[in-house]
Amino acid sequence: MHVNADPARLDRMFFALADVNRRSMLDRLSRGPASVSELAEPLGIALPSAVKHLAVLEQGGFVVSQKVGRVRTYNAEPKALHAMAAWVDRRKLLLNAQFDKLDAYLVEQKGKHTR
């Protein structure tokens, strides 16, 4: 899978996951939808703080929300991690290529010194 994310989107995504409360909320949402109060209560944070954290997660593309009456319910966005995973996978490929070059160089040098 080739997913290309623009740098600004990746910045929002990494920023969204940089906070332990937001990661905890995302972990909880991976088990199913939840309201703001259901997400705030186990973390011991006030509702306004939870709303701010959820806004960051929404801007990062990790959650979507819908409001029915007075209750706003959040759901995890399953495809959100694809862009980050693609970015990480690309870095791993580049790093492995560098290690392969280093390995080939070391083998070559070892051959020169054993003659």
- Rounded Cα distance between 75 and 34, Å, is 7
Q: Can you tell me the distance from the alpha carbon of 32 to that of 99, in angstroms, rounded to the nearest whole number?
A: 41
The pLDDT value recorded for residue 83 is 85
How many CB atoms sit inside 10 A of residue 79's CB?
Answer: 9
**pLDDT, tens digit, 9 for 90 and up, residues 37-67:** 999 999 999 999 999 999 999 999 999 999 9
Residue-by-residue DSSP string for 31-70: TS-EEHHHHHGGGT--HHHHHHHHHHHHHTTSEEEEEETT
**pTM for the whole structure:** 0.76
Q: Alpha-carbon distance 77 to 94, whole Å?
A: 28
Cα–Cα distance measured from residue 70 to residue 4, given in angstroms and rounded to the nearest whole number:
37
Question: What six digits make up the tokens of 40?
Answer: 């705030």
| Structural domains in the chain, sorted by start | 7-113 (1.10.10.10)
- Statement: residue 2 has pLDDT above 50: no
d(CA 21, CA 35): 15
Is residue 14 within 8 Å of 57, Cβ to Cβ? no
pLDDT in tens, 84-114: 888 889 888 888 777 777 777 788 888 887 7
Quote the pLDDT of residue 14. Answer: 93
